[in-house]
Amino acid sequence: EQLQDGEEKKPHKCSECGKSFMLSFHLVDHFRVHTGECPYECGLCGKSFTTSSYLSVHQRMHTGEKPYECGLCKKRFLTNSCLLVHQRIHKDEKPFSCPDCGKSFSQKSNLVVHRRIHTGERPYEPYKCGECGKSFVACSLLIVHRRIHTGERPYVCDVCRKGFRSSYLLLVHQRSHTDEKPFRCPDCGKGFRENSTLTVHRRVHTGERPYLCPQCGKTFMLSSRLRAHQRSHTGERPH
């Protein structure tokens, strides 16, 4: 049987999902997505990763090392890929377009998430919580989620001693002490502590309502508003 061009270049194929790799050790790393194995553990916080390279990047969060600098605004990043994505802001480059509605995105991952609005597809989530059954796309997200059940809050604010489940939640909280709002709306200039909050705010200007009710077709700016609305169809009372 004759191999396709892509198969010749990537002869190592995953028996679970069919994805192919050029090198055998890349297949070994990938297969941990299916097994849930995270053998590389951070000695400082205990967080685990599927590959040593992911661990190396994570450890920069503890050391503060950001080796990749933007030549335009001097902002620094943990990885070269993060720098490349950031530079699209300066160029207003959005190379990933939705084939259904034409909306464009600077990151492919954002397009993948957006397209689920049209397809109704759920993401592949191989990491499942043994307590509540909730699933996640990455084992690191599952580790953070489990702290809801255990009550563990290993990231402590050095100003007020409040604890948090993840380093990201601590970072956002610390901005409440410094009043730092690094994410600014290009339309009205309002600042926000989180990029996700800015994304929601910008819908006020764009009129975007990405959450669609499958029963009646009504659209909403927030997923929480959609969930509240859907109770009018089901008769469910809020808790």
Domain definitions of the chain by residue range:
68-119, 127-178, 181-238
103-140 residue pLDDT tens: 888 888 788 878 877 877 777 777 889 899 888 877 77
> What is the percent of the chain with per-residue pLDDT over 90, rounded to a whole number?
13
CA trace torsion 194, 95, 67, 183 (10° rounding): -20
Q: pLDDT at residue 189 above 60? A: yes
Select from 131, 134, 112 the least CA-distant residue to 123. 112
Looking at residue 3, its pLDDT comes to: 44
Q: What is the pLDDT of residues 192-238, one digit of tens each?
A: 988 888 888 998 998 888 888 888 988 988 888 888 998 888 877 76
In which residue are the tokens 């959005």 written? 94
Q: Considering only the top CATH level, what class is 181-238?
A: alpha beta
Q: How confident is the model at residue 6 (pLDDT cuts 50, 70, 90)?
A: very low
The reported pLDDT for the residue numbered 132 is: 93
Q: Which amino acid is at 28?
A: V
Residues 27 and 11 sit within 8 Å (Cβ to Cβ)? no
pLDDT confidence of residue 152: 93
Q: Residue 69: which of 53, 80, 60 has the closest Cα?
A: 80
Q: 68-119: what fold?
A: Double Stranded RNA Binding Domain (3.30.160)
Round to the nearest angstrom and report the end-to-end CA distance of the chain: 59
Q: How far is CA 208 from CA 115, 141, 173, in A?
A: 15, 28, 28
What is 127-178's CATH number?
3.30.160.60
pTM: predicted TM-score of the whole model, two decimal places? 0.47
Q: In the chain, helix, strand, coil percent, each to 5?
A: 40, 15, 45
Determine the pLDDT at residue 238: 63
CATH topology identical between 127-178 and 181-238: yes
Helical (H) or strand (E) element with 48:
strand 48-49
Rounded to 5 degrees, φ, ψ at 50 are -80, -25
User: What pLDDT does residue 5 have?
Assistant: 46
How deeply is 207 buried, as exposed, middle or buried, from its count of CB atoms within 10 A (0-12, 13-18, 19+)?
Answer: exposed
